[in-house]
Amino acid sequence: MTAAKPHRRLHVKADGRKLHLYGWQPHTLAPTVEIEPLPPPDPHSRWHPLRREWVTYAANRQERTFKPPAEYCPLCPTQAGGFAGEIPFEDFEVAVFENRFPAFHPQAPEPPVLPVETAPARGSCEVLVFTPAHRGDLAGLSQARRELLVYAWADRYVELLERDGVQCVLPFENKGEEVGVTLHHPHGQIYAFPFVPPVQQAAAATFREGPALARLLDRMGDAYTVAARDSMVAFVPPFARFPYEVWIAPRRPLPGPWAFTAEEAADFAALLGETVARYDGLFDRPFPYILSLHAAPKGEERTFHFHAQFYPPLRTAEKLKYLAGVEQAGGAFLMDALPEETAARLRAVAPR
């Protein structure tokens, strides 16, 4: 990314986990009180021979924080003499820390001996906190804060992909209890995998065959466009599997946010906010979704075309799309809303 670089401060927490503080201004506050350490995690992965994919087991995740009251939110700034949260400072702009309940860990132990192939779950799980405010979303953040998030994502991609053993990095955000959110403070997560997950494997194989996403952007026209900027477009894919699914992609193929120009970083940040604002305005209510960022796995940088995907579960203001039996069992999705029509509805919404 060629935009002016924000400041980054590294703080090593009392239990040894790393906390990165990103800001347009230098972060100079003294730490307050640290959270109590937990025993080391011991995740491992097992190979599913019929689906040909890894399944990861992390029993420590059963103890993760579940819907705490606001005064005990672990992602809020930690005030002196107050509840000890994950960020031991009274204020910050954007924070990234190693997850207290990780599914992957750099020092994961050797796996047990089992009748199936196993592997140590060596990777990383991080939490990215968008803002010190307990409530809010990407639409409510300032453009400057969203651009800072884009920089933080890019920085984490670069650092994590440089680690030995990491093959793929996947940032994502879950918004709304409908998709399983248990902490309402605006945040996302970043997983660094020791393997390439199936979805990213398939995408990488497609991009090796040709510029599939660039061709799609050239061919689909305005019927699927929700919003656009000079360097970036938000659109409903013609093959959408969820009602009101939206993708955001740069017009030129880029491997990930680390390759953005300043204009592309600003346009991506703006379209993230506008897409969420249109979602919230669609049914005049906070709109749940899963947002995932798809960048090149290690070694696929030459052909991969970065894009972000929103998967929203609502099909009406009150009705959720539940995966049908054939969708769960066979992966064959069924849709009752045409992408051309959902794109038109989203275009017509004044961002909330």
- What does the pLDDT look like over 4-54, one tens digit per residue? 789 999 999 999 999 999 999 999 999 999 999 999 999 999 999 999 999
How far apart CA 180 and CA 313 sit, in angstroms, is 11
The reported pLDDT for the residue numbered 261 is 98
CA gyration radius, the chain: 20
| Domain closes at, from 138, 172, 195 | 195
pLDDT at 147 exceeding the cut of 80: yes
- Residue 101's pLDDT band, with cuts at 50, 70 and 90, is very high
Task: Describe the chain by its helix, strand, coil percentages, rounded to 5.
Answer: 25, 20, 50
Beta bridge partners of 18: 12
Model confidence at 331, pLDDT cuts 50, 70, 90, reads very high
* pLDDT tops 70 at residue 157: yes
Q: Is the pLDDT of residue 141 over 70?
A: yes
- The pLDDT mean for the chain works out to 96
Q: Which of 16, 161, 214, 48 is nearest to 115 (CA)?
A: 48
pLDDT single digits (tens) 246-296: 999 999 999 999 999 999 999 999 999 999 999 999 999 999 999 999 999
For residues 218 and 167, state if they share a domain. no
Which are the contacts of 129, defined by CB distance < 8 A and separation ≥ 6?
75, 87, 92, 94, 95, 96, 97, 185, 186, 187
In this structure, the answer to whether residues 183 and 204 fall within a common structural domain is no
Q: Are residues 98 and 219 in the same domain?
A: no
Query: What are the catalytic residues?
Result: 187
Do residues 183 and 239 share a domain?
A: no
User: Which pair of structure tokens corresponds to residue 293?
Assistant: 């960022």
The CATH number linked to 113 is: 3.30.428.10
Q: Give the largest Cα separation in the chain, rounded.
A: 59
Q: Are 182 and 242 within one domain?
A: no
Q: What are the structure tokens assigned to 72, written together?
A: 């005990």
pLDDT, tens digit (0-9, with 9 covering 90-100), for 194-239: 999 999 999 999 999 999 999 999 999 999 999 999 999 999 999 9
- Number of structural domains found in the chain: 2
Q: What is the pLDDT of residues 110-126, one digit of tens each?
A: 999 999 999 999 999 99
pLDDT of residue 66: 83
Q: What single letter denotes the amino acid at residue 28? A: T
Residues 261 and 188 in one domain: no
Ordered DSSP codes for 164-214: TT--EEEEEEEESGGGT----SSEEEEEEESS--HHHHHHHHHHHH--HHH
pLDDT band at 65 (very low <50, low <70, confident <90, very high): confident
What is the pLDDT at residue 275?
A: 98
pLDDT on residue 32: 97
Task: Please list, in sequence order, all residues whose beta carbon lies within 8 angstroms of the beta carbon of residue 32, skipping any fewer than 6 positions away.
Answer: 78, 79, 80, 81, 82, 88, 89, 90
Share of the chain above pLDDT 90, in %: 93
**252 CB-near residues (< 8 Å, 6+ apart):** 214, 231
Q: Structural domain of residue 128, as residue ranges? A: 1-195
Q: Are residues 222 and 302 in the same domain?
A: yes
Q: Taking 60 as the threshold, does the pLDDT of residue 352 lie above it?
A: yes
Domain-ending residue, one of 161, 195, 229: 195
